[in-house]
Amino acid sequence: MFRIRRIYDDLLPIDRSAIAQVQNILREQFPLLSKEKVNKLPDQLRNPFKYRFRSILFVAEGIKAKVKGFALLQHVPDLRFCYLDFISAATYRTGGGIGGALYQRVREEALSLEAVGLFFECLPDDPSLCRDPRILKQNAERLRFYERFGARPIVNTAYETPVKPAEDCPPFLVFDNLGRTVSLERDLTRKIVRAILETHYGNLCPPAYIDRVVASFTDQPVRLREPKYVKGEPRAEVKPVSSLEKRIALVVSDVHNIHHVHEQGYVESPVRISAILKEIEPTGLFERVPIQHFSDKPIKDVHDHRFVEYLRRVSEHVEPGDSVYPYVFPIRNKARPPKELPIRAGYYCIDTFTPLNEKAYFAAKRAVDCALTAARKILEGYRLAYALVRPPGHHAEKQAFGGFCYFNSTAIAAHYLSPIGKVAVLDIDYHYGNGTYDIFRHRSDVLTLSIHGHPHYAYPYFSGFDDERGEGAGAGFNGNYPLQEHLTGEQYRQTLARALRRIARYKAKVLVVALGLDTAKGDPTGTWSLVPKDFNINGRMIGSLRLPTLVIQEGGYRIRTLGTNARHFFNGLWEGTHRFAEPVQMQTNHPPKRVNHGGHEPSGSQVPGLPSPL
């Protein structure tokens, strides 16, 4: 068994480990490869705009995330082609279809990048070019493998001309049209061939050699060798490969509906979840994952112990069907919590409309379990995860509930992720996430940013001002963006872009989004007017940070549009994360450099066995 996963960068431990294993495979399978080329792999991934060829790494992983094979694809946006630099199993002939699955995944990626096709080098199966019969046989096997996909060597060119006359086994240039019937246009191919040679062999091939090879592409269209091994039609179409990074791990609370406050006007209702699910599940972007159960420890890591115990005890003592509403608020004498449980509610609460009852604690605890499960999925290699939960959490402070919130799932998940490195929390609920601020205001390892209705007119009224920037060690690590009462999507985005730039500057390793959909037009608790298109763009903008991203559901109460807006947001988030595009509206002072890297080291294709060994 194995799974295929794209590695974007080396931010998370699981990705660092995968890259290190890929580097080991490179060293073992391609011993002639320069140390420099192997060592720069993390940088190539981390800085996609630094090199002319943008590297995309896929790994096939077995149990315990052991890398069994990998493919390193390069995308050249200006010439719209892909180049397969390496594809290799960890050991020769591991079998199990790893090579085929990786190659399919690479083809899928090339198609989604709208590349004209996929180019790569393959050592020749022609006895006049390769003398060693053993190598010749291996080469024939490889070319047979690729021919099954319709990929064949380009013929009638001087590409196989050895740089030095004595060299054995000069590689073919193979082209895979990805199952389409497009022909390969000569002038474009010349540019592509020049880019490949200059980038991969710039230091080995004199310019005159490159000119000669490029000029040898005279056929219009460029011709491929006739099929040699595979009779009949090649396996033309690209079949989708299940690839972890293409899915959003979705965790849905299974007991949220036990918490149902039947008060008139209590808009935080169970139908919110089904309204969202109904719209997002058919997109095919999500993979439902089972809820894992956690102890109280992660909750008590961010909430006051007595507060947690209090909520649990109330749930045990309150009569079924009864609700406890706080009515006494001992704000002056904090050392003396009232003895009676119902009276004590006000000691731990910020408002008078969030009741405690028999079920609130259990529903809130399960929401936390879902958020933690989703966080764990990020650590396991999913790029995006979504905890679709209620009750929401972001108004819950270290020792206070309120605003429909009991435990702050967002903060608990952010804290849970914080040992791996800096975490950014972006709260895009219409209301200020006062709880998240309260929990992290003294910390610099979790950056909390929130875009919300100004507390002059919006709940929670007492917090969310722009001068609340963190305290002590946390000073400067909270950013509040309180906005005016009436706002368009365009105006919203200007602020969102500022917040995203700040996250980029902070160099967060992981992003937690507190997703409120109550910024939408017509939301009964909000005043703004965001429409589905705005949610889509906002999602794309957030995705273009290209961070592992955990989304936790917070507010959003207009049932009629809740699901549509969620769907648009996640479509955008997915696109922003996966598509190759300049980050939306995130201008920097340093436009991406186009560096022709000039091929200062020999490419893997210099060594026998590329693309290799499948």
Give the interface with Zn ion as residue ranges (CB under 5 A): 429-431, 516, 518, 555
β-strand partners of 294: none
Least distance in angstroms from the C-beta of 430 to Zn ion: 5
**How far is Cα 329 from Cα 132, in angstroms, rounded to an integer?**
87
Least distance in angstroms from the C-beta of 39 to Zn ion: 47
Least distance in angstroms from the C-beta of 262 to Zn ion: 20
> Which CB, 176 or 518, lies closer to Zn ion?
518
Least distance in angstroms from the C-beta of 554 to Zn ion: 6
Residue with tokens 């010349």: 190
Least distance in angstroms from the C-beta of 516 to Zn ion: 4
**How far is Cα 530 from Cα 536, in angstroms, rounded to an integer?**
10
**Mapping DSSP to helix (H, G, I), strand (E, B) and coil, where does residue 72 land?**
strand
**How far is Cα 298 from Cα 182, in angstroms, rounded to an integer?**
55
**6, 56 contact by CB (below 8 A):** yes
> Which CB, 42 or 433, lies closer to Zn ion?
433
Residue 561 Cα to chain centre, angstroms: 26
Least distance in angstroms from the C-beta of 433 to Zn ion: 9
Instruction: Concatenate the DSSP letters of all residues of 502-530 into one string.
Output: HHHHHT-SEEEEEE--TTBTT-TT----B
> Which CB, 61 or 438, lies closer to Zn ion?
438
Using alpha carbons, select from 509, 583, 488 the residue that is nearest to residue 543.
Answer: 583
Instruction: Concatenate the DSSP letters of all residues of 441-465 into one string.
Output: TT-SSEEEEEEEE-TTTSTTSSS--
Angle at 343 between CA 338 and CA 349, to 5 degrees: 95
Least distance in angstroms from the C-beta of 523 to Zn ion: 8
**How far is Cα 365 from Cα 367, in angstroms, rounded to an integer?**
5
> Which CB, 22 or 425, lies closer to Zn ion?
425
Using alpha carbons, select from 512, 506, 500 the residue that is nearest to residue 417.
Answer: 512
Least distance in angstroms from the C-beta of 432 to Zn ion: 9
Asked about 293 being catalytic, the answer comes back as no
**How far is Cα 556 from Cα 572, in angstroms, rounded to an integer?**
18
3-state helix, strand, coil in the chain (%, to 5): 35, 15, 45
> Which CB, 70 or 430, lies closer to Zn ion?
430
* Sequence-ordered list of residues with C-beta below 8 angstroms from that of 295, at least 6 positions apart, any chain: none
**How far is Cα 124 from Cα 143, in angstroms, rounded to an integer?**
8
**218, 184 contact by CB (below 8 A):** no
**How far is Cα 520 from Cα 555, in angstroms, rounded to an integer?**
11
**359, 259 contact by CB (below 8 A):** yes
> Which CB, 171 or 516, lies closer to Zn ion?
516
For residue 381, which amino acid is it? G
Using alpha carbons, select from 320, 309, 311, 313 the residue that is nearest to residue 260.
Answer: 320
> Which CB, 256 or 431, lies closer to Zn ion?
431
CA torsion 526-454-360-290 (nearest 10°) is: 80
> Which CB, 18 or 451, lies closer to Zn ion?
451
Least distance in angstroms from the C-beta of 460 to Zn ion: 10
Least distance in angstroms from the C-beta of 565 to Zn ion: 13
**How far is Cα 137 from Cα 135, in angstroms, rounded to an integer?**
5
Tokens, residue 276 = 């969202």
Q: What are the start-end ranges of the E strands in 366-498?
A: 384-388, 423-427, 446-453, 478-483
Q: Which of 395, 431, 452, 578 is catalytic?
A: 395
> Which CB, 150 or 516, lies closer to Zn ion?
516
Between the alpha carbon of residue 479 and those of residues 263, 422, 504, the distances in Å are: 35, 15, 14
Q: Torsions phi, psi of 200, nearest 5? A: -95, -25
Q: How many helices (H) and strands (E) does the chain have?
A: 17, 17
Least distance in angstroms from the C-beta of 528 to Zn ion: 11
> Which CB, 146 or 406, lies closer to Zn ion?
406
For residue 404, which amino acid is it? F
Using alpha carbons, select from 554, 513, 292, 255 the residue that is nearest to residue 408.
Answer: 554
> Which CB, 222 or 405, lies closer to Zn ion?
405
> Nearest-CB residue to Zn ion?
555
**How far is Cα 387 from Cα 552, in angstroms, rounded to an integer?**
5
**How far is Cα 559 from Cα 278, in angstroms, rounded to an integer?**
11
Q: Which residues are tagged catalytic?
A: 395
